[in-house]
Amino acid sequence: MREDSMLPSGVTLKNGAVGARLAATSRTTDLYSSKRDALPGASGADGSSSKRERLAAPKRPSQALATVSGSPNAFPVRRAQVQVNGEPFHVIEQGQGPAVLFCHGFPDTAETWRSQMRAVAEAGYRAVALDMRGYGASYAPADVSLYTSLHIVGDLVGVLDALEIQSAVLVGHDWGADYAQRAMVMRPDRFRALVSLSIPYAPRGEISLWEELRRRGLGERYYAANMIKPEAEARYAPAAKTIPSILYWLSASPPPDARWDPLDPARGMLRPSPMAVPSWADPDYVQHTIRSFEKTGFQGGLNYYRVLQITFDLTAAFKNAVIHQPSLYLYGAADGLCQFFHPTPPTPADLRQAQPGLVDVIRLEHAGHWPQHEEASRVNAELIKFLGTIGAPQ
């Protein structure tokens, strides 16, 4: 969960990214017949790669591709491994029309967006989601310095290039929202509008987040301080236990006085969950996420936290940069991270100081940190409404 965002008491924050574009060198489409969709880059039980049909990805899926999907569904899911600067990234697509690119956060994969992708496809848009760098079946370098905003936003541009998409609306949750926001600032020619879930935008400030936290005496209390330690991977490694814990404690499901608090270690995210699957979560999605992290580990996701200072040091050119494109912010009223970022519910006027094009702020009363799942129908409706408001690309 991103932490270099809008903090209480006028905290200025870091991040931002320079306009580094990674060229897409080639692309292929991987099609899966399973309606529920196998694990990205799935392997058989023996660890061998599953059989795939590799085709040159067309701009519009042919009738043959729809047939291969094995479903009468009018909006079949299409899967691909695309090459971005010579490295593989896993993407899923659904629908046709103006592009909407979805970016997930920690600890997650592209599968988190399946409800929103279906809604967007049915509304006449081309929904695209990727396993972000370090996750799922996408490129996952061990080097922390390869996770800066420069690299991640370059990945987003490269995915558009690989799929021959000129411009897209970005929808991001958690860390995905953070990098979607940076993409708005550095590549307005490719990203025409923004929907942020759970993370408000804050421009890069004068000092880094870590320096601000130290000045306020919160450096060791803030949850991310433990996530950057070398032993963090081992604490998160038993995914069958940690994924249900993170989903449950960060949601609106626990009693208010027991929910995750980013400043209280006693209310941490890795406490044992009282249930395997929260009532609002699709069991197949939870199992997919567990299997994904059992395969990859958590190093890639944790590197997003470890690279914060490096990103801050590289992005002075974007200090105080605002987002001019149309934007929408949605957050859960029970999200402990949002309560830390803005203890008082923000108004559109508050956020328009950094986002002049902000259309609205939506507070979701029955959601915590996972609004795309906890209040999927409401999120879908607000997303479609926003897309209708901004219209098609010119």
DSSP state of 8: T
324 is catalytic: no
DSSP secondary structure string for all residues of 51-115: P-EEEPPPSS--HHHHHHTTS--SS--EEEEEEETTEEEEEEEE--SSEEEEE--TT--GGGGHH
Query: Which one from 37, 174, 178, 261 is the annotated catalytic residue?
Result: 174
Angle at 213 between CA 208 and CA 214, to 5 degrees: 100
Tokens of 145: 């310095």
Query: Which one from 248, 305, 329, 331 is the annotated catalytic residue?
Result: 305
DSSP state of 279: T
At position 122, the amino acid (one-letter code) is: E
- How far is it, in rounded angstroms, from Cα 384 to Cα 51? 36
CA 171 to chain centroid: 8
161 is catalytic: no
- Helix, coil or strand: residue 255: coil
Query: Which one from 104, 288, 369, 373 is the annotated catalytic residue?
Result: 369
- How far is it, in rounded angstroms, from Cα 368 to Cα 83? 35
Cα dihedral angle (218, 153, 126, 138), rounded to 10 degrees?
-90
- How far is it, in rounded angstroms, from Cα 343 to Cα 351? 14
369 is catalytic: yes
Residues with catalytic roles: 174, 305, 369
